Each structure stands twice: as structure tokens, then as C-alpha cells.
Amino acid sequence: MKNQQPQGFLAVPATGSGRGVLVLHPWWGLNNTMKMFCNQLSEAGFIAFAPDLYHGKLATAIQEAEKLSNALDAKEARADIADAVDFLSEHAAQGDQGLAVIGFSLGAYFALELSATASDHIHAVVVFYGTGPDDYTTSRAEYLGHFAEADEYEPEQNINHLEASLRAAGRPVTFLRYPSTGHWFFEPDRPEAYNQAAAAQAWERTLTFLKETLPFRAP
């Protein structure tokens, strides 16, 4: 019997099958931008699921988002993510490639952590302007990172440290910087930061990466 869908947003291709991609939202919560992103993934042939780590709460202003992220119980969030992995694993075609996880900012930390703690499941990781833990010796994943040229929330030294940690663990990693961008450059509902050209480029690179790391072969 398949697991019941956890609280979150599910997007399935018209074919009804595809590789699984877990999407972990930023500190704003599971908003329409994240749902639209899941729909884009499904249109590209992937089954995408985004767990709602805030359980219905949303923020639009930075101060609100700070309060929500500070109040987030990390243990509960990890349990929600684990449930999402189990759910997606049952509903997506995995084969030998497992699942991908894409994390935005706050979600990037959990995505990176998950790649080390659930290495049997996670074989591809994409992060947008976010870093994470230091130890990836248990990981089996490949990594793609999208980072802003000028990011007050994610210092360059953090990005360099993450890249060094991944390379030290022998993991394939590609980190990309986008000129004339800041934090949230991928998110169209942040007009003060959104960069359409950089977002389009990051999307195409993400799609290529997913198709190369999680090839889908119909049964």
C-alpha cells in the first residue's frame, strides 16, 4: 500500500510517470512560485513534490519570513522531508538513479543535508543561493549550485567552503555564479531581486543536469 501524500504540492506529468524531484521551499514557505516551479518540472517529464515545512503558513516580507524560519523546528522539518522522500520514492520511477532534490535558500540547507543522510535515495542535488553542512562522505549524489554574484545572505566564503567540502568527499560538483544578481534572482515574485535572463539560464542548466543525472527510460 502506497504512503498517503504528506502536506505539500504534487505535480505529475501528463504521462503519469517520470523520475522524482523533491523541491524544498525557501523561507517564504510553499508559495505560488514554488508550485509553479513544480509544474514546470512536471511539464518537463518529472514527478515533483514540494513538502510544506510551514504547514500552511506563508510570508511575503523579509521580517515575516525571518520569524517563520526562526520558529521552524528542524527535527519536525526533517521528519516532514523524510515522509516526502518515502512518498515520492513510491510514486516516481527511480531505477538506479534514485531521486533529485532541489532546494532554495532555507531549503538548500536541508537538501544538502538530505544528500548525506539519505544517500540511498538522493542521487542529484540542485541548490539555489544556499549552503549547508560540511560532511558529504556518505553522499552518492552529483551537485549543481546556482549562486548570485552579490549576495548579502550567502557570503562567498560559505560557497567556496561548501564546494571544497563536496570535492573533498569526491563528489561531482558544478557551482555557477550569475553576474549582476542577488539573492532570490530566480523567484519572479521578488521584483526587487528577480533577474529574468539569469533565471532562464539557471532553469535550462537545471533541466539539462536533471536529464543527465536522472535519465528516464519508459518501461
Residue ranges per structural domain of the chain: 8-213
Q: Classify residue 171 as left (phi > 0), alpha (psi -120 to 50) or beta.
A: beta
Residue 218 CA to residue 16 CA, distance in Å, equals 11
Q: Would you tell me the crossing angle of helices 74-91 and 106-117 to the nearest 10 degrees?
A: 70
Could you tell me the pTM of the whole model? Answer: 0.96
pLDDT for residue 104 is more than 80:
yes
Q: What is the mean pLDDT of the chain?
A: 94
Summarised one tens digit per residue, pLDDT across range 171-215 is: 999 999 999 999 999 999 999 999 999 999 999 999 999 999 987
pLDDT for residue 116 is more than 90:
yes
Percent of the chain at pLDDT exceeding 90: 90
Q: Write phi, then psi, for 193 (nearest 5 degrees).
A: -125, -25
pLDDT for residue 219 is more than 60:
no
Q: Does domain 8-213 have CATH number 3.40.50.1820?
A: yes
